[in-house]
Amino acid sequence: MNSSSKLDNLFDPTLVAAQQPNWPGGKDGAPLARAVADLKALPPLVFAGECDDLKAKIAEAAAGRAFWLQGGDCAETFASATADSIRNRIKTILQMAAVLQYHSSLPVIKVGRMAGQFAKPRSNDLETRGDVTLPAYRGDAVNDIEFTESARTPDPQRLVRVYNTSAATLNLVRAFTRGGFADLRQVHEWNKGFIRDSKFGEKYEQMATEIGRALAFMASAGVDPEQFKAVDFYASHEALIIEYEKALTRIDSRTELPYDVSGHFIWIGERTRQLDGAHVDFASKVRNPIGVKLGPKSTVEDALALIAKLNPDDEPGRITFITRMGAKTIREVLPKLVEGVTKSGAQVLWVCDPMHGNTFESKNGYKTRNFEDVLDEVRGFFEVHKKLGTHPGGIHIELTGDDVTECLGGGNEVSEKDLESRYETACDPRLNHSQSLELSFLVAEMLRDR
């Protein structure tokens, strides 16, 4: 895969890109131009064939024959890109996938919010503390979370560091998922070092024992398929910083079509899905599978217009709608969207993001979510699809493999007071390992009974 003159006129430079940093020198300035030039000279992080493989799996999920599991950090940081942190996130997703697949008998598509999720949209460009006002923290791709003028000044060279950190992360992900770590016979090992004193920890061990017996029986019969020894694991992020995504777009040598090689799956956020904006235009031009976040104010007309723009040829697996409605509104808003899109004949995968619509500030000042609200939104998602006879295709979760205390509730009952002990997120609160495992068992029950 290499660049060609085809890329020169692919994107419309006059379109407005929402939620962009105020780079020194502006979007046409020398600092950003230098970073973009560096990125354009670098090799792909992922390959077009891998994107096509994922698209085919999404098509299977959209048809009701697979389930999508997407999880990882709200916002990755350079400091958290350690072997232990990456391994724990992968272990958590592998555990969740094992639970979902075992109880539903459906293939589970494993997708990490990692190796690129370094930028976040913000409500305001500025943040004020006391009498000091500085640029808001927009993720490590743009500036630093430390509240000083130098740290908060956007620096385009951070985009090159995003690439390098993503490359290191993907290298480790591939080693873990292809080098024996993800072997299903290690299903007990994935739980070592994690909290096991909750009822769901015990439940997982029981399930792992049953899987082990089944695998031993198959081995005794001479059956030992390669699919048990490694997993396909895909990288995803919000395609937010438009110059980064453009700089990592390449022409596939097999097909002569453009792919965004910064990740296998990219999505457009609720704040950047303007039909006449740069993000939707960009996504319409690249051949990756594309996600779009839909909030509680989304209409059927919005959804159909996005489908027409992003997938005019109705290519299977191309479009995933990630709904983020909030537990209080999903049962009211989602049915109209699903029904309207289904009636149009469009093929999309429906995925539930139960995190972003359920955020609030605790009494002691922490941005948090209640586990019961997260669970209730997932319940509502399944209820709507069951009533309409459509497939609840997946979940999109902000999680970590560490035992943080950022979301309230769950089997281990994180309280408001507990938020003070291990609140480590750079942006939004994440489910910890125990809460993630608990959610997977509860979702597995819904999936089995769908």
Residue 216 CB contacts under 8 Å (≥ 6 apart), including other chains: none
Residue 266 CB contacts under 8 Å (≥ 6 apart), including other chains: 236, 237, 238, 239, 245, 260, 283, 286, 288, 290, 291
For residue 196, the model assigns a pLDDT of 58
The type of residue at 160 is V
Two structure tokens written together for 60: 């299977």
Largest CA distance in the chain: 72
- Give helix 83-104 / helix 157-178 axis angle, nearest 10°: 50
8 A C-beta contact, residue 149 and residue 28 = no
Two structure tokens written together for 214: 């089944």
- DSSP annotation string for 167-187: HHHHHHHHHHHHSSTT-GGGT
| E-state strands within 332-434 | 349-352, 359-361, 367-369, 394-398
Residue 30 CB contacts under 8 Å (≥ 6 apart), including other chains: none
Alpha-carbon distance of 53 to 254, in angstroms, equals 14
Give phi and psi for 124, each to the nearest 5.
-130, 145
> How buried is residue 225: exposed, middle or buried, by Cβ count under 10 Å (0-12/13-18/19+)?
exposed
For residue 3, the model assigns a pLDDT of 52
Per-residue pLDDT of the chain (450 residues; tens, 9 = 90+): 445 568 988 999 999 999 999 999 999 999 999 999 999 999 999 999 999 999 999 999 999 999 999 999 999 999 999 999 999 999 999 999 999 999 999 999 999 999 999 999 999 999 999 999 999 999 999 999 999 999 999 999 999 999 999 999 999 999 999 988 998 888 888 887 665 556 788 888 888 899 889 888 888 898 877 778 889 999 999 999 999 999 999 999 999 999 999 999 999 999 999 999 999 999 999 999 999 999 999 999 999 999 999 999 999 999 999 999 999 999 999 999 999 999 999 999 999 999 999 999 999 999 999 999 999 999 999 999 999 999 999 999 999 998 899 999 998 899 999 999 999 998 899 999 999 999 999 999 999 988
Alpha-carbon distance of 210 to 437, in angstroms, equals 17
* Half-sphere exposure (Cβ direction) of 67: Cα atoms closer than 13 Å: 27
Alpha-carbon distance of 381 to 447, in angstroms, equals 11
Alpha-carbon distance of 449 to 442, in angstroms, equals 11
Alpha-carbon distance of 245 to 238, in angstroms, equals 10
